[in-house]
Structure 1
Amino acid sequence: MALAAAVVFAIVGGAWLLFAVLVLVPDLSMLFYLAGPRIGAFAYNLVHILIGPFILAALAWATDSVIAKQITLIWAFHIAVDRALGYGLKLPTSFQDTHLGRIGRG
């Protein structure tokens, strides 16, 4: 999915500077872990599930918004790379506990 998102981004003439600036923005949701693991997991998962990019894609298509299409592809790319690297959706117990298993040391 990451490769497909990057290819489509290139095909539609996406701005690579925009890509570089926004590709890690979803990870800002980790800041919510400062409020505790339950709130952190909820916020992280909210921006790391595909429903967000799907909704934005529908809005982008309906309005023919070029910037929304580019953001959709960047967001989907981010999620796909996270999954490929083993970073799954977070469980409320700890940042390291994901639906794909435990990440990090010990």
Structure 2
Amino acid sequence: MSKSLLHIEGLIVLLVTIYFYASMDWSWWLFFLCLLVPDISMLGYVINNSIGSTIYNFGHTYVIPLMLIILSIVLNQDKMLALSMIWIAHIGMDRTIGYGLKYPSNFKDTHLQKV
């Protein structure tokens, strides 16, 4: 049950983020171009599993993009807000399909499932 709930939560985050992105009338080219950018954090696995999981998890937690959203609102930076929304959409998309935060044991070991 809790695993399904986490997948549903990811889907809701993805859909809500897309809704707000669309309501701001931002570029869909930018959205699709940047949607997979957080996956660059997988390159940390070239070094080793421990560093790879740390870097990957850094790029796949909600904390940083949420802080950037607050900062972009305070500074009135629309482009930063758009990129932060795309980042959150990416995380929601990953959670929806089962990619979670990584354990240092192996790339396939996540908090949602074994990929």
Which residue is equivalent to 2:15? 3
Question: By percentage of residues, which structure has more helix?
Answer: 2
1:39 Cα offset (Å): 0.4
Q: Give 1:60 shift.
A: 0.6
> What residue in structure 1 maps to residue 6 of structure 2?
none
CA RMSD of aligned residues (A): 0.6
Q: Secondary structure at the match of 1:91?
A: coil
AA aligned to 1:55 is M
**Corresponding residue for residue 29 of structure 2:** 17
Paired residue for 2:77, among 65, 68, 81? 65
Give 5+ residue unaligned stretches, structure 1: none
Distance 2:84 2:49 in 1: 27
- Distance (Å, rounded) in 1 between the aligned partners of 2:18 and 2:26: 9
Aligned residues: 103
1:37 aligns to what?
A: 49
Following TM superposition, by how much is the alpha carbon of 1:24 offset from its aligned partner in structure 2, in angstroms? 0.3
Q: How much does 1:26 deviate?
A: 0.2
Range moving further from structure 2, 13-22 or 41-50: 13-22
1:43-96 per-position Cα deviation (integer Å, ceiling 9, x unaligned): 000010000111100111101111011011100100001001000000000000
1:83-98 alignment, distance < 5 Å: 83-98=95-110
The whole-number CA distance in structure 2 between the counterparts of 1:14 and 1:4 is: 15
Runs of 4+ in 1 over 3 A off after TM superposition: none
Structure 2 residue runs of 5 or longer lacking an equivalent are 1-12
